Structure 1
């Protein structure tokens, strides 16, 4: 058994790890309960598409939210944003047991909650290198993501069964309580925040000007990087992914002969695949990144086409195998960003990339909802598999992307381009 890395015993990293663990207790149930609640209230796959549209729209807006993270202490941002999310979610059981719930209110609530997530995610990404050091970023990300996915596997898989006994609204309440605990836990964080000075003027015009300067700094940082060359293919693949996930509840009910728990099994299968990719990603960082992506996503496309057409058990296994490439890509790309980007820009760069990547997701949600209403749900899974193969072909045809070296050697950013803008 290998020795524990020193950063794993660091106080702040342990707090962050426990926070991720507690969050995972409820987030898996929340993911299943939220989509099933919309489906139950509306009785329509199209409304599931609208719910996914709302959540993905929050992702598109994340580049506008990212600069706000630098206007408060990172610790305070984590504490209060999780607290507010918990309070918002607790309005669901309150309304449910009093005047009743409306599907539009639920969709709006999912959107607002997703907006707060766009605020906390870049903060977590920013503080990790400060806590563990740049040399340990890939390993630390791998450990954190492994905990996330492991919790998702357990609680998403059991979510359908739990919801059967306590209902969707009570299940969402569990997540709200977990957020309250996470908010309390993060009050014990204690790390040195970099000095990011801001204009303290009370003039609204001055504050607005600084905000847009920060926003521009993030754009300048990635403008001459490899990121713009990658964005088109990522947007394309995200459209396909959302078309698939929008129809996954209906697809699961079809494969499971109407058993709601099967939806949880498919989401758990997805999480298991991502977790496997997360675990193996540190071992793959020396492989040429371009070749790794091309090979992995061609494999994903083939097995997901199989998942769309084969019986339940085989479909679940192939669905899991196809998700491994997602876990590998997430860890390697975001770890490279955290290592190569200056601390003051990490949050903005990550959210600009995720915002750009999410541009097609609202469109994919609407397309997925319409496809689900018109055709059999397995068509959407099949389309996603074909799209993965097309994605790989695009990378294969691009000399720059095809020839990318191992992620530790790939220079994604021209550091210094944005200096002086902050």
Structure 2
């Protein structure tokens, strides 16, 4: 058994990161269910669920503005203090709930602020991974961490609906706050070699601002002549469709289950199961042509999610899970290739530029999803998402550049730049 364990998996810093991901996963599934249900319960309207998703996705759009800030503090300090701040903010929900009461707009605002902190910590975690495990182990390390994330989501999202029903939405969010606090304490034990932070003492606000915008512009210039912009347009489109569906998922699950709230957690867990399967099998697929994998898998996803919208509860959940496999595959292949081909100083910025651009469609999808949910049955939104997946595949098929992408290790994201070795 020990022969199958890669040396990087026993390295101190990777173990800390892995346990941090594990502890975060203990509460994030419950938080995801409880947060959306809290908004729905406080407002009684799917439209406000759309606004909540709009707030969260707007933070994702702004991530390209936040990413350069990671270079102004040591990575370890950034992870520790930002998680502490996030935990403190989350604890205000139970405090206000048991004192002056909660308002739906406060909860939506809080979801936005917490999401902003996540946009700061995620690129740091992506940046330190190659430092900890080395470029040769990035794909396997990503697969390992993402498998843990999805496995925890399955375990806790599946039961989240039941837990929320028993203890309530506010205590459930408190559990997540405690988990975030523990993650902050775990990350305090990091001891990896950190790049020097070049910061002059007594630097004026004007010069600091100038340096910030220089760093921001450098991230844009870095990807300008790369393959990434060619992918962004299709990803924006698909994100609009995905958020239209997820905004209506609470109402959709209630319709499919005749009012059983716990089923919303089952749908989320099935999504995580599919993503986890895709994550696990990705290292076995890296020898196949990237373009062909995406085209074939997303056509399958579209067909399956059309079935999710039209079939009864049990086959609907099964097809929803199976269709999500392609998401796990795409995530690992794209982010691993970026982490291997980009200099350490730019990894966070490039990843957040990609995710920010991809997230541009999410606020639009949230508002459209909220309006559709108020006007039509929730099944329509899921059906639209399934059809959009097929359109996404057709777009890749019609693009000679995307269609002919080779196996991931031979894909050159930056054609005019040497790949890191």
User: Mind listing any 5+ residue stretches in structure 1 that lack a counterpart?
Assistant: 418-422
Structure 2 equivalent of residue 218 of structure 1: 219
Counting only pairs closer than 5 Å after superposition, residues 233-272 of structure 1 correspond to structure 2 as 233-272=234-273
Structure 2 equivalent of residue 92 of structure 1: 93
Structure 2 equivalent of residue 74 of structure 1: 75
Residue 169 in 1 paired to residue 170 in 2?
yes
1:330-357 deviation per Cα after TM superposition (whole angstroms, max 9, x unaligned): 0010000000000000000000000000
| TM-score, normalised by the number of residues in structure 2 | 0.98
Residue 276 in 1 paired to residue 277 in 2?
yes
Separation in structure 1 between the aligned mates of residue 255 and residue 416 of structure 2, nearest angstrom: 50
User: Mind listing any 5+ residue stretches in structure 2 that lack a counterpart?
Assistant: none
Q: CA RMSD in A?
A: 1.0
C-alpha contact (below 8 Å) 1:199/1:210 kept by paired residues: no
Structure 2 equivalent of residue 30 of structure 1: 31
| TM-score, normalised by the number of residues in structure 1 | 0.98
C-alpha contact (below 8 Å) 1:297/1:389 kept by paired residues: yes
Separation in structure 2 between the aligned mates of residue 51 and residue 135 of structure 1, nearest angstrom: 40
Separation in structure 2 between the aligned mates of residue 198 and residue 230 of structure 1, nearest angstrom: 35
User: What SS class does the counterpart of residue 314 from structure 1 fall into?
Assistant: helix
Separation in structure 2 between the aligned mates of residue 78 and residue 64 of structure 1, nearest angstrom: 17
C-alpha contact (below 8 Å) 1:199/1:207 kept by paired residues: no
C-alpha contact (below 8 Å) 2:240/2:362 kept by paired residues: yes
User: What SS class does the counterpart of residue 324 from structure 2 fall into?
Assistant: helix
Counting only pairs closer than 5 Å after superposition, residues 310-321 of structure 1 correspond to structure 2 as 310-321=311-322
Separation in structure 2 between the aligned mates of residue 284 and residue 408 of structure 1, nearest angstrom: 11
Counting only pairs closer than 5 Å after superposition, residues 289-300 of structure 1 correspond to structure 2 as 289-300=290-301
Offset at residue 285 of structure 1 (A): 1.0
Instruction: Extract structure 1 runs of 4+ deviating beyond 6 A.
Output: none
Offset at residue 3 of structure 1 (A): 1.7
Structure 1 equivalent of residue 354 of structure 2: 353
1:207-232 deviation per Cα after TM superposition (whole angstroms, max 9, x unaligned): 00100010011001100000111111
Structure 1 equivalent of residue 6 of structure 2: 5
**Which has the larger displacement, 237-246 or 187-196?**
187-196
Separation in structure 2 between the aligned mates of residue 371 and residue 252 of structure 1, nearest angstrom: 16
C-alpha contact (below 8 Å) 1:251/1:377 kept by paired residues: yes
Structure 2 equivalent of residue 209 of structure 1: 210
Offset at residue 165 of structure 1 (A): 1.0
- Change over 3 Å in CA distance of 1:204–1:414 after alignment to 2: farther
Separation in structure 2 between the aligned mates of residue 200 and residue 295 of structure 1, nearest angstrom: 55
